[in-house]
Structure 1
Amino acid sequence: MSKALCCYAFESLLNKLDSNTNKIPLSKYYSYFKEDPEKTPSSAPLFITWNKNDSLRGCIGTFSKLSIESGVSRFSLTSALQDPRFPPIRLSEIESLEVSVTLLDNFVAIEDQNDWKIGLNGLKISFEVEGGHYSGTFLPSVAEEEGWDKLTTLYYLLKKADYPVSKSSVSKFYEKGLDEGWLKLIKYDGLKSKLSYQEFDHIRSQI
């Protein structure tokens, strides 16, 4: 995938947190890496993930198609500053960060809860039970990075959707929901690239 997009995510955050910086355009990073922007989709659903010392520090994205340049810039800030699970990232933390940019594609509704591959497919769930609406997603890399099997992934997907269920009843819950049609489970692909601040800082100094 594109290292230039990762640099641009860092560039957008740095420019927001440090008013003394001038924002380097994405085109400069494309040129540095000799990446052809024509080979990157002009628009796509995307997620930006920030990690600090190998721990999640923020992750927000959208399933709507956005312009890649404006989408990366926008959600690099949203995920860094507005993830309700974490306090906003501060400038003093930036040197400890790693960013991942994931572009999403090939959304397919599945009727079998096991019709997906760990490390390849992300999952998105949505359903309504007793008047409550529940939804959640895991990017393609999550299950593999966490060392989860499929059942464990499906269990934590329900927990992420904030729906209480015991692990022993997970399979039957999905089977019932998919069979009766009130549960939607979608698999999707993701193109992911990641970059540390140290790599970004070195590249930025060369431009």
Structure 2
Amino acid sequence: MAAGCCGTKKQKLNNSNVPCDGSVMQNGTQTRNPPIVHPDMGFFCFDVLYCQLHQLDPPKAPNFCNDAFPLFVTWNIGRDMRLRGCIGTFNAMHLHAGLREYAATSAFKDSRFNPISRDELPRLHVSISILRHFEDGADYLDWEIGVHGIRIEFHNEKGSKRTATYLPEVAKEQGWDHIQTIDSLLHKGGYKGLVTPEMRRSVKLTRYQSEKVTVSYQEYMNHWQSRRC
């Protein structure tokens, strides 16, 4: 199920000794290495967007890890990094297919914005968020600003079940405390009534963490030119 932020057959890696969890095998022992996210994921999302905007064939399968994770793709524009689209999924998807799908979905189908146009390309940044470490919160305050993303479930005024999420960076970037974040998230999820302490206590909260990488269009072009050399 797609969600606003803000599968294909599994393919073998070129190096089969590099698992997707960021660890490597050395003398039969697994040791930690860099995070799952990699700038190549951002370059691939730009490939997807560029090909769609210019009516080109889709890009070939990338070389980075293809294990399955929940993920979000966020497009920002300009020096002020204004949000231009952000959609993802809490269902684990193989990264090649998931990034291919949500690079386009967040660029063209975020209902809050017009589809991204060709002339906006040079001013874009793309961020990839790989979601991990999901935990049930004891209550609506059981999460840490700047560390956890949160997903809430609640019932609106008509009794319908609704959900909404903010990625880990949102509350910190906005300067919100816990209550401000929960209240904003309730409204984002479609709650139109007065947010009372009782309403906040009724929320079911799931907290999670993410690994994130951001790539600019200029970095993408530099990477593309280096591949031609």
| TM-score band, normalised by shorter chain | 0.7 to 0.9
Aligned positions of 1:17-166 closer than 5 A: 17-20=53-56, 23=59, 25-27=61-63, 30=64, 37=65, 42-53=67-78, 54-129=81-156, 130-166=158-194
Contact 1:11 1:24 in 2 (8 A): no
TM-score of the superposed pair, with normalisation by structure 1: 0.85
> What do residues 28-70 of structure 1 show as CA deviations (whole Å, max 9, x unaligned)?
xx5xxxxxx3xxx611010000011211100110010101011
Q: Which residue does the alignment assign to 2:208?
A: 188
Is 1:172 the counterpart of 2:191? The answer is no
SS at match of 2:218: helix
TM-score of the superposed pair, with normalisation by structure 2: 0.77
Contact 2:139 2:204 in 1 (8 A): no
Q: Which runs of 5+ in 1 are unaligned?
A: 31-36, 178-182
How far did residue 108 of structure 1 move? Answer: 1.2
Amino acid at match of 1:6: G
How far did residue 23 of structure 1 move? Answer: 2.6
Contact 1:14 1:21 in 2 (8 A): no
Q: Which residue does the alignment assign to 2:7?
A: none
Range moving further from structure 2, 144-153 or 50-59? 144-153
SS at match of 2:40: helix
Amino acid at match of 1:104: L
Amino acid at match of 2:199: F
SS at match of 2:187: helix
Identity %: 34
Distance 2:155 2:183 in 1: 17
Contact 2:76 2:126 in 1 (8 A): yes
Distance 1:66 1:20 in 2: 25
> What do residues 73-115 of structure 1 show as CA deviations (whole Å, max 9, x unaligned)?
1100000001111111111111110100001111111122211
Residues 202 and 24 of structure 1: is their aligned pair in 2 closer, same or farther, counting only changes over 3 Å? farther
SS at match of 1:100: strand
How far did residue 126 of structure 1 move? Answer: 1.2
SS at match of 2:168: coil
RMSD, aligned CA? 1.7
Distance 2:186 2:223 in 1: 40
How far did residue 21 of structure 1 move? Answer: 7.1
Distance 1:203 1:24 in 2: 16
Distance 2:46 2:56 in 1: 15
Structure with the higher helix share, 1 or 2? 1
Amino acid at match of 1:189: Q
Distance 1:137 1:20 in 2: 34
